[in-house]
């Protein structure tokens, strides 16, 4: 109440005093609200109520701390020692959480439904961990709002790639637009790993050991693709078709050990006709030795020694023709020999016919004797 007029502070008409009292009351209310909010902050974290941010950084935590404010929008839990993310690790559903960073926590296992309680999560950073077990349903079954996923340096080694593929194909990441998989020592990608990421636009695969791509980019509409610093020696026709069919894609391919032989002929043709490979001028041959470190775009098709293949095809065609001529000549000779020996062959056929006839008559005679009882008895008596 106002000490001047006896009215409530919000209705006070006393000059100066009422205004100061109102401002003081508002400040006190904000302070109390802030105190209540801060009081719910985990002891191992720092909470900023205005920004709705919680930071639990380098606190040697072994699990996700409990008591995280439900109003949090940005959550940093980094630089700790959390070896496993269990189902229900975040406790109650954090309905307002938009950004979550779990980088550098030495995470080894991610169980099913870990992130299912974060329905509005848009950015997730799992980089710089040691994940060796990634459950296929880690992101849940229903589609999430997740748009950015950072898994750079997150996997223990390339042996986790099958689990990674299953989790990406679970159907819960249909809204994902950006995926980072750099520096994970991946040496291959299972076919259709990204087939259930229809919204994916930015894919980073740099600094791995990928040697081959098979049905990797089918049904995608990428805007950026980073394949630099891998172990690609060539790109197959199917992969080139998948990339060529994407109208606005920007591709990086530098620092791959391309074999500049006949297997790269289609890639050379494509590079000469497209602007989609932004670093195409820096692509170099790794082999053969005669072309080592030569820019691929400076190659001529004759440099690839593909004439050997053409010569081989010509040799095979010539061989087939020659074989046909030889067989035809043998056939003619055989018919000519038959013609010259036609009388002898005819006599031989007659002899065979007569021999067969005599043989059959002998069989017929013995059959008649065996079938006639009289002849059978006569033969028995004569024996007696």
159 belongs to a structural domain: yes
69 belongs to a structural domain: yes
272 belongs to a structural domain: no
The better pLDDT of the pair 353, 380 is held by: 353
Q: Which of 14-23, 100-109, 111-120, 224-233 is predicted with the least confidence, judged by mean pLDDT? A: 14-23
Please indicate, yes or no, whether the overall pTM of this predicted structure exceeds 0.85: no
Which of 357, 268, 250 lies closest to 305, judged by CA? 268
Instruction: Report the C-alpha gap between 41 and 47 in whole angstroms.
Output: 6
379 belongs to a structural domain: no
117 belongs to a structural domain: yes
254 belongs to a structural domain: no
pLDDT in tens, 240-257: 999 999 999 999 999 999
pLDDT in tens, 292-331: 999 999 999 888 877 544 445 555 677 788 788 888 888 8
Task: Measure CA of the first residue to CA of the last residue in the chain; give whole Å.
Answer: 156
348 belongs to a structural domain: no
52 belongs to a structural domain: yes
Q: Which residues contact 210 (CB under 8 A, 6 or more apart)?
A: 186, 187, 188, 189, 227, 230, 231, 232
Number of structural domains (the chain) is 1
Confidence at residue 367, expressed as pLDDT on a 0 to 100 scale: 67
What is the CATH number for 130?
A: 3.80.10.10
The better pLDDT of the pair 197, 306 is held by: 197
Q: 189 lies in which domain range?
A: 42-231
- 76: part of which helix (H) or strand (E)? strand 74-78
């Amino acid at each position: 109440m106002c000490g001047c007029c006896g009215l409530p502070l919000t209705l006070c008409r006393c000059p100066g005093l009422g205004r100061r009292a109102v401002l003081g009351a508002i400040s006190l209310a904000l302070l109390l609200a802030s105190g209540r909010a801060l009081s719910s902050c985990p002891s191992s974290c720092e909470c900023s109520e205005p920004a709705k941010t919680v930071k639990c950084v380098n606190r040697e935590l072994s699990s996700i701390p409990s008591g995280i404010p439900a109003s949090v929008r940005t959550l940093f839990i980094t630089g700790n020692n959390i070896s496993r993310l269990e189902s229900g690790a975040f406790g109650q559903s954090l309905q307002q959480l938009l950004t979550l960073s779990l980088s550098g926590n030495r995470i080894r296992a991610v169980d099913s439904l870990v992130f299912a309680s974060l329905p509005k999560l848009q950015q997730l950073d799992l980089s710089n961990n040691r994940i060796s077990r990634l459950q296929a349903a880690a992101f849940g079954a229903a589609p999430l709002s997740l748009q950015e996923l950072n898994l750079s340096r997150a996997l223990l080694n390339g042996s986790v790639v099958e689990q990674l593929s299953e989790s990406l194909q679970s159907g819960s990441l249909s809204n994902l637009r950006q995926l980072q998989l750099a520096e994970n020592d991946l040496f291959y990608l299972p076919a259709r790993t990204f087939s259930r990421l229809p919204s994916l636009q930015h894919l980073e695969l740099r600094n791995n050991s990928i040697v081959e791509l098979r049905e990797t980019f089918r049904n995608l509409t990428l805007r950026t693709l980073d394949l630099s610093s891998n172990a690609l020696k060539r790109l197959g026709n199917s992969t080139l078709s998948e990339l060529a069919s994407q109208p606005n894609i920007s591709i990086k391919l530098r620092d791959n050990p391309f074999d500049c032989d006949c297997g790269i002929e289609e890639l050379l043709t494509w590079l000469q006709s497209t602007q989609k490979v932004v670093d195409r001028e820096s692509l170099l041959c790794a082999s053969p030795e005669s072309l080592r470190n030569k820019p691929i775009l400076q190659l001529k098709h004759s440099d690839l020694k593909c004439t050997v293949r053409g010569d081989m095809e010509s040799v095979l065609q010539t061989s087939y023709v020659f074989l046909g001529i030889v067989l035809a000549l043998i056939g003619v000779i055989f018919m000519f020999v038959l013609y010259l020996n036609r009388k002898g062959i005819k006599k031989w056929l007659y002899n065979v016919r007569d021999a067969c006839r005599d043989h059959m008559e002998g069989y017929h005679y013995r059959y008649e004797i065996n079938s006639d009882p009289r002849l059978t008895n006569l033969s028995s008596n004569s024996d007696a």
